[in-house]
Amino acid sequence: MKENSLADLLETHPVGMAWQRAGELVWLNAVARSLLEATDTTVSRACLEALQEVSNADGRGVLVAGAQTYALSVYRKEREALLMLVPYGDSTRVFPGLDRLQQSALDFEEIFRNSFDGIFVADGAGMTLMVNEGCERNYDLSAADMIGRHVSEFEKAGWIRPVVAAQVARTGQRISTTQHTHTGKTILVTGIPLVDAAGTVRKVIINSRDTTELRQLQDALAQTREKLRKVDEENEALRLQNLQVEHVVVRSEPMRRVAELAMRVARVDATVLITGQSGVGKDVIASMIHGHSARSAGPFIKINCGALPHDLLESELFGYEPGAFTGAQRTGKSGLVELANKGTLFLDEIGDMPLDLQVKLLQMLQDRTVVRVGGTRAAAVDVRVIAATNRDLKSMVEARTFRDDLYYRLNVIPIPIPSLADRKDDVAPMVHQFVGEFNERYGCHRTMSEQTLALLIAYDWPGNVRELRNVVERLIVTCESDVIDPEFLDGVLPREVLDAEPNSFRQRVERFERRLVEDAMRQVGNTRDAARLLGLSQSSVVRKLRAAS
């Protein structure tokens, strides 16, 4: 740029400029001439004094000219000096970007002050430089308590443990930890280093948040969850103690374990194999699993694999296409597997399924598809399979009468059910349940005497629950009295059970009852009044008197 072009540019600049050499004024622009009351070569005495004062100080000062105030700055190099006069309050015209910088500074200050999280600033040596109101609130300390102090003093005073600013400055790494304050607060902090071009930590920023209330809420939530868990366990235990499914009561410890396992299995969709003697209630457990599963709204389809001929079993299970065999419906028929879609298929007596059908069942379990008899198209099905048997499938696998691959496919979750002889505690509640059921069905009001109930409990019930249910039904229907006494068990239970020893329980009961009847006869003198006194039927009193004679 040419010298005169530069002079023209500086002449119009809003900042006053004056060039001095060896104490003599060399050049001034228009603003400087106006402010200093100077011509090209002379300056007023007042201005010279002001300039001298600035020169004698640190090179900076203030000049008031009319209603305007100017900042004076002198920059010297050897014998030359440059004087600059910058007007206060006119920074926008002089420095167009300065107002934005000032606004940014104000915004930063406001954000810093009003941040909910605490902000703590220390230098690289650990001296506290700045703290905001959130920091004061978190630590219950004022800014005056912290600013100007080394961070190590906070820990020594017991205000904050541990402090992290020094560690951040030393390692140059971000650090997050939990602090505890002198007022018992729990503070979550993160320390961030600010590094210069040389890699030296020049500032440390600590962000902090009071998590005391959050921690208290978390502790309260954990306690509430623990209480709810205990309540759920207690409710589950109480429910299992009196669990009734299709008129069967679960009370004994072995059966309670079975019921608990069944309830857990109900929550998942795995295949189940229920084993146990005939009559133990395998179908009841299968129904329980379905009823408490996510498929409970779907169908529960039961098929007895041993009750149908081979050909009929295949068509019933898998269905058939039109014209598949002689006598088939012209429209074909859906099988039970298809009907169980979105529900549960219960295959009872699975051990009686023929080998060739086992192959087709295995294919259905693996592919979740079914092909009807006489058809070629595979239809997708969504069923849960529960199988049951009273046979030893493992032995059948070894004897090659049951497919091993199907056995392992079915035996995902085995549920063995104990016999009634191994769960005597279930007998009494089952008897009461059956008595109530058959009283309602037949319009009766029968009750079991304590002696009769004791004999029923003592019996081993080789036919399990099915036999017990049949016996109770028979007693309800055939007894002449509303109170079912041990005498009505003649011909119902084996004689060897009733007369197992000379001084058997039954005989002791009979002698006791006989004495009661004889005492009543001596008091009232006739069988009708004696029956009313004892709460028996007249025929029962007569029968007991005959037995006594």
Return the structure tokens found at 94.
């002089």
Instruction: Report yes or no: 408 and 433 within 8 Å, Cβ to Cβ.
Output: no
In a domain, 462, yes or no: yes
Answer yes or no: is pLDDT of 41 > 60.
Answer: no
Give SS3 for 343: coil
Burial (CB < 10 A; 0-12, 13-18, 19+), residue 354, is middle
| Structural domain for 297, as ranges | 242-418
For residue 170, give both structure tokens.
């030393």
Q: Residue by residue, what is the 3-state secondary structure of 346-368?
A: EEECHHHCCHHHHHHHHHHHHHC
How confident is the model over 299-341, as pLDDT tens digits?
999 999 888 887 788 888 888 888 667 666 777 788 899 999 9
Domain-ending residue, one of 193, 210, 227: 210
Last residue of a domain, one of 210, 228, 252: 210
Tell me if 75 is assigned to some domain: yes
pLDDT at position 90, please? 54
Residue 21, SS3 per DSSP = strand
- Please choose, from the candidates 87, 82, 73, 92, the residue with its C-alpha nearest in 3D space to the C-alpha of residue 34: 87
Q: How far apart are alpha carbons 466 and 244 in whole angstroms?
A: 16
Q: How confident is the model at residue 439 (pLDDT cuts 50, 70, 90)?
A: very high
What's the number of domains the chain is made of? 4
Please determine, for residue 203, whether its predicted confidence score (pLDDT) is greater than 70: yes
pLDDT at 1: 45
Sign of the CA dihedral with 399 first, then 401, 407, and 411 last: negative
Q: What pLDDT sits at residue 502?
A: 46
Bridge pairing between strands 24-28 and 16-21: antiparallel
Choice between 514 and 410, residue whose per-residue pLDDT is larger: 410
Residue 462 has pLDDT above 70, yes or no: yes
Poorest-pLDDT segment among 60-69, 179-188, 401-410, 501-510:
501-510
Judgement on whether residues 107 and 166 belong to the same structural domain of the protein = yes
User: Model pTM greater than 0.95?
Assistant: no
Q: Are residues 518 and 454 in the same domain?
A: yes
The pLDDT assigned to 495 comes to 76
Q: Mean pLDDT throughout 144-149?
A: 91
Where a domain ends, among 418, 447, 462?
418
390 and 454 in a single domain? The answer is no
Position 419 scores a pLDDT of: 94
| Least confidently predicted of 77-91, 277-291, 349-363, 462-476 | 77-91
User: Are residues 405 and 326 both part of a single domain?
Assistant: yes
pLDDT surpassing 60 at residue 245: no
Tell me if 347 sits within 8 A of 353, measured CB to CB: yes
